[in-house]
Every structure is written in C-alpha cells, then in structure tokens.
Amino acid sequence: MVELRSVHKSFGSLEVLRGLDLEVRKGEVTVILGPSGSGKSTLLRAINHLEKVDKGWISVDGALVGYRRSGDKLYELRERDVLKQRTQIGFVFQNFNLFPHLTVLENVVEAPISALKRPRKEAVAHAGTLLDRVGLADKADAYPKQLSGGQQQRVAIARALALEPKLLLFDEPTSALDPELVGEVLDVIKDLASQGTTMIVVTHEIGFAREVADTVVFMDEGLIVEQGAPGDVLDRPRHDRTRAFLSKVL
Ligand code: ADP
Ligand code: MG
C-alpha cells in the first residue's frame, strides 16, 4: 500500500530523512517509534504531501507521491493529482486540529461535501454512523471546546474516516491527552485495526504497539534502525539504539 525508496528530506542544512526505505502492506498496522527529532512526523507529512521530499520516491497504492529523480529531471505531480491523493489518506494529528467554529457534525461533513462533492444529506447520514462508531453520537451538535481531549480526538478520527481513506496516518494521537483519556482513543484505533484498515501510527504507547502492530519500526536520525514483529523489536531488539530508547519509554 505504501512504499518509500531512498527518501531524502532536509530543512536547510539539517538532513531529517537520510535515504529512508519503508514498505507497508495493505490491511496492516505499522507502528513507528523513535526519539523526538528523528523524523517521524516529517515521514508521515511527506506521505500526505504536506512536505515535498528532495530525493527518492514514495508511492501510495501504486500512485506516485511527491518528487522523483529521473535522470537529472525532477518529476512533480500535478496539483490536481495531489489533491486527489490527499483525499485518499486520512491524517490524525497530535493536537486534533478540529475547526473550532464548527460543530462536531460540521467538522465531520466538511471534507466529504467540499472535497468529494457528496450530497449534504448523504454526508450527514454517514457522519452519524461514524460518530456512533467512535462513541460520540450524542455530541453531534457540540463545539470542540465543549469536549474533552479524548472526545475531540475521536471526532478527529471520525473526520478522517469520513473520506473513506485507503490509508490512515496517526501522528502521536494520544500525546496531548491526559493519561485517563488515552485508552478511549487507543480503543477506537484498535477497533479500526481489527477491521483491516491500513494504518501507520507514530506513538510512544508500547503496550498498544505490542497488541495492535503487525510491524514495529524503530527510527533514529532520519533512518530506520530496525523493524519487525512487535515481539522481536520490543522484546529482543538487535540494536543498542533501540534498546536505549525502549529503556526510556518502557
Ligand atoms: P519527530 O516527529 O520524530 O520528533 P520531526 O519530523 O518533527 O521529528 O522533525 C525532525 C527534525 O526536523 C527536527 O529537528 C525538527 O526540528 C526539524 N524540522 C521539522 N520540520 C521542520 C521545518 N518545517 N523547518 C525546519 N526544521 C524542521
Ligand atoms: Mg513528531
């Protein structure tokens, strides 16, 4: 579903992704772990066209994302194709990023109506189903600030699902939450995983990784240091850097 080959990305003189390779299979959950500043968010943002890569290529479900170097010529996607691909990838941010001036329901129906041109009635019916699925059917008319962080993040997940994406990206979805609210958000993500949604989840929740991930990837300094089944990477890490990181977060 997702393939990255030798992806490079710098901000000025800072090389954030240093020739990164990654494959994510359809229907699988990939959890990415790694210290702050290792390039995890940049990696997710590149997959979703929020950052352009300098070199290498990324494809999502066979469609090329961003830049490719073909000979000396940089190949760039047309704006139209970028917009189309972005509607097929859901992104859930650490800080929810809901529209504060819109109700929960309006947050969820906004993209299907404006980007997919769905009839309003159909979008509202679908939003009802999604809010029910994340346990917030009774909050449709509330505004984000009237909700807890855990509820807001569940709305953000419903909003991402409203586009029926083929891929869901989560960037530390529970890091901004009070500890007692983490579980309700992870439960929703677990539920999606059990239904075969393809997901890449950046998180420090090791218990979640152990339970839900098909593959755990440990990233450091813009490269993947090791990856494999959760039992291998989390319990029998082969690299010192992975061991050092795990000893801090476990
Ligand atoms: P992580 O998510 O693993 O903490 P990031 O991908 O956010 O790491 O960032 C990797 C590095 O790139 C950090 O040093 C960060 O400060 C830097 N960085 C990220 N985005 C930008 C940007 N837009 N401009 C300059 N530096 C950036
Ligand atoms: Mg980050």
pTM of the model: 0.94
Ligand 1 centroid–CA 126 distance in Å is 36
For ligand 1, atom 18, the nearest C-alpha belongs to: 11
Nearest to 31 by CA among 221, 165, 231, 176: 231
pLDDT at 194 (0 to 100)? 93
pLDDT at 64 over 80: no
Question: What was the pLDDT predicted at 80?
Answer: 75
Is residue 100 pLDDT above 90, yes or no? yes
The atom of ligand 1 lying closest to the CA of 45 is 6
Of 193, 148, 197, the residue nearest 174 (C-alpha):
148
**pLDDT of 72:** 45
The bridge status of strand 89-92 relative to strand 167-171 is: parallel
Rounded to the nearest whole angstrom, what is the distance from the C-alpha of residue 48 to the centroid of ligand 2? Answer: 14
How many percent of the chain have pLDDT more than 90?
82
Ligand 1, residue 172: give the atom nearest the CA. Answer: 2
| Cross-strand bridge partners of residue 64 | 59
- Alpha-carbon gap, residue 230 to 250, rounded angstroms: 14
Specify the ligand 1 atom closest to the Cα of 51. Answer: 23
Q: How far is the CA of 23 from the centre of ligand 1 (A)?
A: 22
- Cα(75) to ligand 2 centroid in Å equals 27
Residue 181 Cα to ligand 1 middle (Å): 27
Does the complex come out with an ipTM higher than 0.90? Answer: yes
Please tell me the residue having the least CA distance from ligand 1 atom 13.
37
* Smallest-distance ligand from the CA of 94: 2
Locate tokens 């494809």: which residue? 59
Q: How confident is the model at residue 61 (pLDDT cuts 50, 70, 90)?
A: confident
- List ligand 1's pocket residues with C-beta within 6 A: 11, 14, 16, 34, 36-42
